A and B are shown apart, each in its own frame.
Chain A
Amino acid sequence: MIVDVTHPETGETIKVDMPNLNESTLADLQKEHTTNQQLREHLERLPVSAEVKAILFNLAKFTIRAGETIILLGKRLVEVGLTLANKYPNATMGVIVAALLSALIALVPVIGPAIVSFLAPLMMLYGLVDGFLTDFKSSKPKLAEDIREATAFAAA
């Protein structure tokens, strides 16, 4: 399925092919499990800095468009991040979301420029370096598997 991705800062739109995105996965991605206000309240309960909370809340506003359908992709990633942070208490929410964003870029490199404005500050604040996802996969295999599953919709 061809998806329109708009750069959150420049407004430039690019077309991305996500062959794994079908009617069924699209329906799953469209589900909202929480309101924006509830999401903000969940973020405020996290033991992370105010900056990270603000970046994650901004990410939650990031959307992509598949035909006439708007997908709240950023919100979905933050929701998944919160769920995984709860499931794996030893992992930090900001790092989990950075891993989700990196996994997405690894699957669809062309989406990179549009989401790097969320990923770069997270990596800087947590001192992560390029390729940290590879280390992440070996040190936290179960969490890495959940991240792979959560981003499977973007796989080729």
Chain B
Amino acid sequence: MSVDTDLSEFFGKDVIQVVSDQERFRRRLKIGGDAFQYLKKAENVHTTASSLLGGAGAAGAVYAGWFASIGTLGQVGLAAGMVATPLGALAAAGAVGAGGMYFTQRLLKNTRKGVVEEIPSFINTPIDVLGTTLVDILLPVLLKIADSDGEVLEEEQDLIAKYLENEWGFDPHFIVGAIAAEMAQIDQWSFESIRKLIIEVSKTGDLDVSGFKTDLMAVARDVSHADGKLMSGEVASLQALEASLELRPSSVARRSFWAWLRSIFRLR
């Protein structure tokens, strides 16, 4: 039967893998249930609907109808405190209640994120494609940091390889080949080139980009300390990396009021 012949041939082939521990890799992406984008949309609809369908929801709907019915001048009057009907006052209280329920759900959801680690059972991008792209970001960055003092020591290479294998689940054979390929062109490589790749990866929705940048900065510092010394070249490279990742503290100081308000609700 040709179907069975095809099946035996297909599943008998050796696959060259980029990621050998897929669960570890998915966990490292830190996206949790957000990997399921259709379900996430459905869940958000549910969150809004449940706040509207709660006890306060019906009053909220009354308020929306009443607010629309009083016209523009009436709405201006309401803002100035000139329109005060018992119906309006009661309904407004209900609408505020619905809003409160929504924010409570957001707060609980964010608290849960801090105490429960969710690993998606699948991601959207083919895992080897995402893995190769992330190696194209991680490996040259870390080798460049290690090379900043003039040479890449064996212990630095080992630290980088172990990080990619143990923390990300990359295949050790793939990493050996990738390190050799990157080492051949590390002199021409600059930190600026990771920006475009990070933007590409962020479009997939399969990576918590802000967590990834912070982790990359932390492991880059570890690599720079791997030989026990921190040379001026390594400090300059770390600063160049920080600038490329747009992690400079000054960007935090320039946050808008709304960004600050949102950060409070995110509980970060």
**B125 / chain A contacts, CB cutoff of 8 Å:** 47
- B258, CB-defined interface residue at 8 Å: no
Using CB atoms, name the residue of chain A closest to B20.
A41
**B120 / chain A contacts, CB cutoff of 8 Å:** 50
Using CB atoms, name the residue of chain A closest to B2.
A149
- Which of A33, A41, A54 is B121 in contact with, Cβ under 8 Å? A54
A82 CA to B123 CA, complexed, in Å: 17
A38 CA to B140 CA, complexed, in Å: 31
* Contact yes or no, B36 A41, CB < 8 A: no
Interface of B is mostly: helix
* Contact yes or no, B124 A83, CB < 8 A: no
**B37 / chain A contacts, CB cutoff of 8 Å:** 49-51
A48 CA to B7 CA, complexed, in Å: 21
- Chain A contacts with B in 46-88, Cβ cutoff 8 A: 46-51, 53-54, 57, 79-80, 82-83, 86-87
- Which of B8, B121, B124 is A49 in contact with, Cβ under 8 Å? B124
- B126, CB-defined interface residue at 8 Å: yes
* Contact yes or no, B7 A83, CB < 8 A: yes
* Count: A-B pairs, CB below 8 Å: 68
- Which of B6, B8, B123, B127 is A87 in contact with, Cβ under 8 Å? B6
**A149 / chain B contacts, CB cutoff of 8 Å:** 1-3
* Contact yes or no, B22 A50, CB < 8 A: no
- Which of A41, A53, A80 is B7 in contact with, Cβ under 8 Å? A80
- Which of A44, A46, A79 is B22 in contact with, Cβ under 8 Å? A44
* Contact yes or no, B126 A46, CB < 8 A: yes
Q: A20 CB to closest chain B CB, in angstroms?
A: 13
A121 CA to B108 CA, complexed, in Å: 30
A54 CA to B120 CA, complexed, in Å: 10
Using CB atoms, name the residue of chain A closest to B6.
A83
* Contact yes or no, A150 B22, CB < 8 A: no
* Contact yes or no, B36 A33, CB < 8 A: no
- B191, CB-defined interface residue at 8 Å: no
* Contact yes or no, A41 B22, CB < 8 A: yes
* Contact yes or no, A28 B1, CB < 8 A: yes
Known: A44-B22, A45-B127, A49-B37. A57 touches B122 (CB 8 A): yes
Which A residues have a C-beta under 8 Å from some C-beta of B? 28, 31, 33-34, 38, 40-41, 43-51, 53-54, 57, 79-80, 82-83, 86-87, 125, 146, 149-150
